[in-house]
Chain A
């Protein structure tokens, strides 16, 4: 079945630094990648949608200059949290959905802790 590999699984960084999270589709081409954020005991909230080769579409309230998304190829999408602050600490998870893939494949998630 479809597999999405997400790295790193856990990261601790200092306030003010940047962190890059990668999601790779291993056995299919992900034309679309969705990025979600999940705070403790809450649901998954969509942050942005990225399509290969074009700019990401951000949800209302998500700062595009802070959460940089790159989807340069059909198998790789990255989310960079710039100038991270403690309130950015969360579980970030990607989900791939190809044009012909009616289902959604999730990465394993990244637990970000900003200290």
Chain B
């Protein structure tokens, strides 16, 4: 089955700085890679996703890149704000259930 590894587990940045979270996956058949933001006790919220036929996608301050050859994808958050503080999960799937990474706790210091 799919295995997704995520790094770092915790990330602390100053407000206004950029944050990068990286994930690798094992199953070359995976073709959908969403990123979720989860606040304590709440459901994961989709923040951006990318499909395997695209190398990069951007939505305002958030961008995701995908390298299919290396089987890794990354989340980039620019101009971070305190409200970006949360746990972020990457995931991968090939039309089955999502396999999640272990999560990154992002803390944006004001």
Contacts and interface: CB of A to CB of B under 8 A. Distances in A.
A pairs with B: yes
B44 A44 contact: yes
Interface size class of A (residues with CB under 8 A): 10 to 19
Contact of B42 (A34, A44, A102, A109): A109
A90 interface: no
Q: Which of A42, A44, A95 has the most CB of B within 10 A?
A: A44
A21 interface: no
Interface in A52-109: 91, 93, 95, 97, 102-104, 106-109
Nearest to A93: B43
A95 B42 contact: no
A55 to B, nearest CB: 16
Contacts of B101: 43
Contacts of B49: 103
Interface in B8-61: 32, 34, 41-44, 46, 49
A91 B41 contact: yes
A13 interface: no
A102 B89 contact: no
A49 interface: yes
A111 B41 contact: yes
Nearest to B96: A49
B100 interface: yes
Contact of B100 (A43, A102, A109): A43
A83 to B, nearest CB: 26
A46 B99 contact: yes
Contacts of B43: 93, 106-109
A104 B103 contact: no
B102 interface: yes
Contact of B97 (A42, A43, A46, A103): A46
Contact of A104 (B34, B41, B102): B34
Interface string B58-86: 00000000000000000000000000000
A93 B93 CA distance: 18
